């Protein structure tokens, strides 16, 4: 009775050892790809922001907004962006000068990771150093009844 028990125990230890050493094999030669989570990735994938995506690409800000951050972007959806295009009389991204797109887009970007709950009503410095005619720009945020900008 002792001999079969020792044999069974030895077999079990051998099986466990083989399993442990096989499971510990380092087969992760290629690093796992990380999911990109940039502003540009988000707007390129969401059809509600297709005009914003086109504007970011035309303004050549896709590299900046995909780079080191963090950034907080007050992203206008297609309706808001179309209202802007209509207001300046260009009606399409293609008809809008690059300089105008750079000015309006960078005026919607804050440096850092800003949560809506940490905002207070007031003016905020944006990535846009100057607006049209070299006027200094800032973003007015109103948090009464929700977050609205320049309104």
Pairing of strands 139-142, 71-73: unpaired
The predicted model scores a pTM of: 0.66
The answer to the question of residue 59 being in a domain is yes
Work out how many domains the chain is built from and give that number: 1
Residue 128 has pLDDT above 80, yes or no: no
What range defines the domain where residue 67 resides? 39-149
In tens, the pLDDT along 46-68 reads 999 999 999 999 999 888 888 77
In tens, the pLDDT along 77-93 reads 999 999 999 999 999 99
Residue 30 has pLDDT above 70, yes or no: no
Residue 134 has pLDDT above 70, yes or no: no
The answer to the question of residue 45 being in a domain is yes
User: Could you tell me the CATH number of the domain that includes residue 104?
Assistant: 2.30.180.10
The answer to the question of residue 34 being in a domain is no
Residue 132, C-beta contacts closer than 8 angstroms, at least 6 positions apart: 100, 103
* Tokens encoding 62: 């896709």
* Tokens encoding 61: 């800000």
Examine residue 70 and say whether the peptide bond preceding it is cis (omega within 30 degrees of 0): yes
Query: Are 40 and 66 in contact, with CB atoms under 8 Å apart?
Result: yes
Which ranges in the chain belong to alpha helices (H)? Answer: 2-23, 39-45, 50-58, 62-66, 78-88, 98-106
């Amino acid at each position: 009775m002792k001999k079969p028990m020792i044999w069974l125990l030895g077999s079990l230890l051998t099986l466990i050892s083989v399993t442990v050493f096989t499971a510990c094999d380092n087969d992760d030669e290629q690093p796992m790809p990380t999911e990109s989570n940039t502003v540009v990735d988000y707007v390129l994938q969401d059809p509600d922001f297709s005009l914003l995506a086109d504007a970011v690409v035309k303004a050549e800000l896709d590299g900046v907004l995909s780079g080191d951050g963090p950034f907080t972007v007050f992203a206008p959806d297609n309706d808001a962006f179309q209202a802007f295009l209509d207001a300046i009389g260009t009606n399409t991204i293609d008809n809008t000068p690059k300089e105008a797109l750079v000015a309006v887009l960078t005026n919607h970007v804050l440096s850092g990771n800003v949560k809506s709950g940490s905002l207070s009503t007031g003016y905020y410095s944006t990535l846009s150093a100057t607006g049209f005619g070299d006027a200094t720009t800032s973003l007015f945020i109103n948090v009464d009844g929700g977050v609205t900008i320049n309104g």
